[in-house]
Amino acid sequence: MADKTYLDNSINFNQPPVCWQGLEVYPGNGAASNLYGTLNVIKNPKELITPDINTDGNVNVKKSVNVKIDVNVEGDTNVSGDISVDGNINADGQIVSQTQVTASGTTLTSRKPFDIPHPNKKGWRLRHVCLEGPESGVYFRGRIKNKTEIDLPNYWKDLVDIDSITVNLTSIGSHQDVIVNTWNEDKVYLQSKEGLPIDCFYYICAERIDGEKLIVEYEGTSINDYPGDNTIYSINK
């Protein structure tokens, strides 16, 4: 095969797969490469090194591309049909969609739900939506019995702002007048009336410290007007 192949509208790609290494493809008459058929590119079993498809310009695909090797694009890739990928898609930059993005059957939207088969009603499904709030909050909950100390998760030390901790306590069986005496990055210390044995549920919340605080309201007409760091959020426009 020639070292250089010039493309024009007369080239028909509806042919059996072709294997090559080091082939340079140039658009005919200075125009972008337009593939009106199907381009199949597979690894040559006789080659020890998998070849690449490299393009410095635009590639407009009118039908389909079946690629089983690497594709490196420095310019734009415009595809009017579907792209099917059996492996991973790795991107150093942004992946932008003008419509919805669906992954593993789940469409990314402005709410964050999960939808599963109902655990105990046959023929039904169960849908929940993630809790939303004005902070990047985390929680820890459980029950404490015959103890005066609640051990916080060890990863909270560098994950949350310790001063943001709040604790809700619900006594079990009887009123014990349980209060929070003090706390630190490791424990929450409780105190009960006249030293009564403690038996209660606890719900502890805190705000994450690994990043800036959420700016809940801001002036603007698009997400680009956000006065903080947009890169730490998954955003639906």
pLDDT tens for the chain, residues 1 to 237: 344 454 444 444 444 444 444 444 555 544 445 555 555 555 555 665 555 566 666 666 665 666 666 666 666 777 666 777 777 777 777 666 666 666 666 566 666 777 889 999 999 998 888 888 999 999 999 999 999 999 999 999 989 999 999 999 999 999 999 999 999 999 999 999 888 899 999 999 999 998 889 999 999 888 889 999 888 877 655
In this structure, the strands spanning 24-27 and 4-7 are parallel
13 is a domain residue: yes
Whether the Cβ atoms of residue 214 and residue 135 lie closer than 8 Å to each other: yes
**pLDDT score at 55:** 62
Of 87, 104, 122, the last residue of a domain is 87
**pLDDT score at 211:** 85
Amino acid at 68: K
97 is a domain residue: no
Q: Cα separation of 99 and 196, whole Å?
A: 60
Q: Cα separation of 152 and 156, whole Å?
A: 7
114 is a domain residue: no
Return all residues near 88 (Cβ < 8 A) that are at least 6 apart: none
b/e 2-21 (16+ beta carbons within 10 angstroms → b):
eeeeebeeebebeeeeebee
**pLDDT score at 199:** 97
How far are the Cα atoms of 32, 64, 65, 80, 161 from residue 60, in angstroms, in the given order? 7, 10, 11, 8, 51
Residues 203 and 142 in one domain: yes
Q: Cα separation of 19 and 66, whole Å?
A: 13
The number of residues in the chain equals 237
**pLDDT score at 15:** 46
Of 87, 106, 126, the last residue of a domain is 87
Residues 80 and 8 in one domain: yes
235 is a domain residue: no
141 is a domain residue: yes
109 is a domain residue: no
The domain tally of the chain equals 2
> Which domain, by its residues, includes 60?
4-87
Return all residues near 201 (Cβ < 8 A) that are at least 6 apart: 141, 142, 143, 169, 170, 172
Q: What is the pTM of this model?
A: 0.58
Q: What is the CATH number of the domain that holds 186?
A: 2.60.40.3940
20 is a domain residue: yes
Residues 141 and 202 in one domain: yes
Whether the Cβ atoms of residue 59 and residue 32 lie closer than 8 Å to each other: yes
Return all residues near 181 (Cβ < 8 A) that are at least 6 apart: 189, 190, 191
126 is a domain residue: no
